[in-house]
A and B are shown apart, each in its own frame.
Chain A
Amino acid sequence: MIKWQKNMVKIGALATIVLALAGCSTAKSNGSGQGNNPGKTIKIGVNMELSGSAAGYGQQQKQGIQLAVNKINKAGGIKVGNTKKKIQLVVRDNKTSNTTSASVAAQLVNNDKVVAVVGPAATNAGTASIPNMTKAQVPSVSPSATDPGYTLQKNGDVQKYIFRACFQNNFQGSSAAKFMTNNLKAKNVAILTDNSSDYGTGLTKAFKKTYTGKVVSSQTFQEGDKDFNAILTSLKHKKIDAIYAPGYYSELGLIIKQARQAGINVPIVGSDGMADAKLAKIAGNSNTNNIYYTTPFSTKSGETNTLAATFLKTYQAKYHTTAPTFSALAYDSVYMIKSAIESEKSANSVKITAGLAKITDFKGVTGTITMNKNHNPEKSMTIEKLTDGTVSQAYTIK
């Protein structure tokens, strides 16, 4: 028994050492705090969903990024002060996993020493990368993280190193609500939400907040669902003037198809996740009537925006399809970084961050962008109408 007590003392001593060491590791300060600097080239990281459930969207964004980088490099690179430096892309797959996204972010900023990151596509993967981006003082621009809180800290302050190129949900959701009341005169609507990510649920929340008419029915679906007949049949005999369905084109295409086949012909309004030529391909052109969606990027905008026109043309030439919104947003993300480097005359990551925060009247494919204090781009929104599978009309919303 006495021996046992003696040993207890020994354990106690060891435990004290362990705790002291633990303290030592946490007390260690975190580097000098100057961010990453470029070498011969400007290294830009891509933290993207290239496999897993969001891979379809991630791959489209990667295409947009590559298009932008090729174009910049062909013109000699980015002007940093007096020299021109080419961009070197470091593309890494985060598997649509939040844990991996954090790891990819750490690798990009610590090992690859990139000066800026484009991505991730989804809000959750994005927020998982924030701690590592912030620690290394490297900015990231997400082409499609739409949660209003994405660029904000818990106390409401802005996340210093986090930017996005897309609209946040509140703006799109409330715009859709206003549009449905004012333009479509819809008094009774049904809502069909993609319930598998923040995107659909966030838009629905914002929509419900603004919409003044009556929400007759609010139903949800999951990403990967293919059969919506049950929900649509239950809506058929309800008196509804329109359907608000925030989600992505893969599911929305099927909803449109099955709704029209079931004889539901009311307008269906969605969000920029629908803005893809594949929507009409999946739904079938003859079914794609009376479809509206909010989008920052109109394929019609080529008529007024020359940048968009060239983008659409080069994209078509390279990938043989009409450029989807995700590619356009990712394309703009790269150019926003370029613009920040040029205005700050430095490709140091902290400087780029400052440059990104100061972006004003940046001419992009998805519109003229001004970064507001919460790192959300302010740009005009378009609502497109599809008739027989093609854009027949575009409404601009300020």
Chain B
Amino acid sequence: MERLVYIAVDGVIFASWLFLVSLGLTFIYGVLRVLNVAHGSLYALGAYMGSSLVLLFLRAGYPTALSYLVLLGAALLIGLTVGPFLERVFLRRIYLKEEVLVLLLTFAISLMLEDVIKLVWGVEPYLVNAPYLALGQVKVAGVAYAVYPFLLTGIAVAAGTLVWATMARTRFGRLVVSVIEDREISAASGVNVPLVFTFAFTLGAILAALGGAFTAPMISVVPGVAVEVIVLAFAVAAIGGLGSIEGAAIGALLVGLLRAAAVHLAPELDLLAIYAVMALVLLVRPYGLFGRAEVRRI
């Protein structure tokens, strides 16, 4: 009986993290039709910036309680600087060209950022877990859990709702939707499409950095975190149907719970879980859970 509780809790924890790291990716794809490989690097930048800022913050003697705001600040800092930079300087040049070509560009960028990070932060591992420890523990079915991961769940839900609300309720959202529907027409009807793109990409970048920044306190931030995270984000986004936020949420839950189940019931399958889910989902639904095939007008 407890076992089920554990699977549920651990599953949700992992799912929250998965959702947080894939949200930005799926959003950017939804708007710009760009599969952003540099997403992982933005995540890494967020993680490094988050840990180093919190470190300075705490060394300066400020209370840990406020460090969460610092993490948020770090995410915004990265997102608002690197995001527009990448979009304006590089992506801008090859929109509307082949999807794969843009993907390739972001891959080259991610290669470079990997070393840029190394040059800025060095290779020494950052383990800044004060924000993680500060929230203390809570007992669930007789087992102690750190509270921090549940904060992560909260942030994931908040971020998801925020993005969803922005898309559904705000003018910017409606602009974005119109651009998704038809770039030409919305451009013709006076929408500043390039600007929408910049905003959208920046928002995606912030989300990526947010994932990194709030993951930082629970991991040792070392070179290579980008590579590890990007394929997970791809998988979750693909399962949900690229571009679909609710899809990413369901996908994350699916993978999260299945992985937790694997750990608790069949540890040998841990490695396989996510790709098995992905293969099965895509076999049953070729465009992901919430994806739609584009029908050609004739």
Report whether chain A binds chain B: no
